[in-house]
Amino acid sequence: VDKDALDTQVKDRKIQEASEKARNEELANEMKQNDKIMCMLEQRQKNDIRNINKAINEFQKNFQKPETRREFDLSDPQALKKDRPARLSDNDPQCTVSGLQKFMGEDLNYDQRMKFQKEQLREWSLQQQRDWKNALADQKFADDLYDKNRIELDQKTMEQQRKEEEKRRAVCTATKDFNRTQAAELAERKMLEKYQKMKDDMDEISSLLQGDLLSENPEQAVSSFGRHRVITDRWKGMNQDQLMAIRHSQQQQVLEKLRLKEEERQRDAAWDRQSIQAARAQLVLERHQQRQNRECRQALDNINAVLSQEQKSKNIYLKEEAYSNIPTGQYYAQFNTTSR
């Protein structure tokens, strides 16, 4: 394994992950900023709509009052308080044609009244036009600001995408060059490894032919760390003393295992006895609890029976004695007998 190449790949991978993480954080911050701007624009638009509605309500409250309507006198709640006698004088403006108090052609204030009404209508119309122009100007300003912010956001997004494409293209180019270099190095390394393997194989064949393995020399299994240790690939087997020592050790292990099983069996039996005793105690406790619950239910049933009997007696008393008087027609005749 080429450790240096693997370390280089790991380092490049970490650098790439760090750049991707930084790019993702930058995009997240940009999205948060855009969301804040959008929330501010929406709040401003809501405030503008609220101000326009408030101005309309103020205008209707100040210049379009119900008292200025032509048919207000038909639904005026103070009509009776404002009502006056049918005729105060000969020049009373309430005198109608049917009263024969005032005839056509005798309206001396017609010009002045019409002039005042036209002036009033003109002022109302101009005021409405000014309010409407102001509302349109505010709406146009809000729309222009919204469009400007949207264009800026789109431009920033396009710039970010362009930078992202350039970074991705640069990363792809660097990765391609690195992979090409790694492939060339790998091919050269494989060639050297193949040559080295062939040389090692030849050396191993020569060593085996000239060594003690094929000649089956018993001394070749002795380890350099001591006579009690052997080399496994050269060892030809154990002698009778070693085999007897192993069999004796196995018998000791079997006896020890039997002893442990017996101890475990006794421990399990003790646990079983303890579990049975606990279950019996739990059963006795449950029966005692059931007996107490049964006694409580019987006492509660007796109390409910007594309360039911008392309720029945109270209902009989109310029905037969307390509510036995039935109202007659004379009782109802005493109501609504006075005039206002």
pLDDT digits (tens, 9 = 90+) for 230-284: 777 777 777 778 789 889 999 999 999 999 999 999 999 999 999 999 999 999 9
Note whether 90 and 96 are within 8 A (CB). no
pLDDT in tens, 144-166: 998 898 898 888 888 888 888 88
Residue-level length of the chain: 340
Report the DSSP pairing between strands 222-223 and 226-230: antiparallel
Residue 87 has pLDDT above 80, yes or no: no
Residue 149: is it exposed, middle or buried by C-beta count within 10 angstroms (0-12/13-18/19+)? Answer: middle
Domain ranges of the chain: 221-251, 262-286
Note whether 238 and 223 are within 8 A (CB). no
How far is 264 from 252, CA to CA, in rounded Å? 18
pLDDT in tens, 8-45: 888 888 998 998 999 999 999 999 999 999 999 999 99
Any idea which of 104-108, 170-174, 224-228, 242-246 has the lowest mean pLDDT?
104-108
Q: Which amino acid would we find at residue 307?
A: L
At 293, the pLDDT band (50, 70, 90 cuts) reads very high
The helix/strand/coil state of 340 is: coil
Any idea which of 3-7, 83-87, 269-273 has the lowest mean pLDDT?
83-87
Provide CB contacts within 8 A for 238, sequence distance 6+: 246
How far is 101 from 209, CA to CA, in rounded Å? 154
Q: What integer pLDDT is reported at residue 160 of this predicted model?
A: 87
| DSSP tally for the chain: helices H, then strands E | 5, 2
> What's the mean pLDDT in 51-60?
92
pLDDT in tens, 101-130: 665 555 556 777 888 899 999 999 999 999
> Quick one: tokens of 208?
């085996």
The helix/strand/coil state of 301 is: helix
pLDDT in tens, 194-221: 999 998 888 888 877 776 666 666 666 6
Residue 287 has pLDDT above 70, yes or no: yes
pTM reported for the whole predicted model: 0.24
Provide CB contacts within 8 A for 59, sequence distance 6+: 127, 128, 131
> Quick one: tokens of 161?
């995408």
- More confident call, 86 vs 62: 62
pLDDT in tens, 297-317: 999 999 999 999 999 998 888
Note whether 159 and 166 are within 8 A (CB). no
> What's the mean pLDDT in 162-181?
88
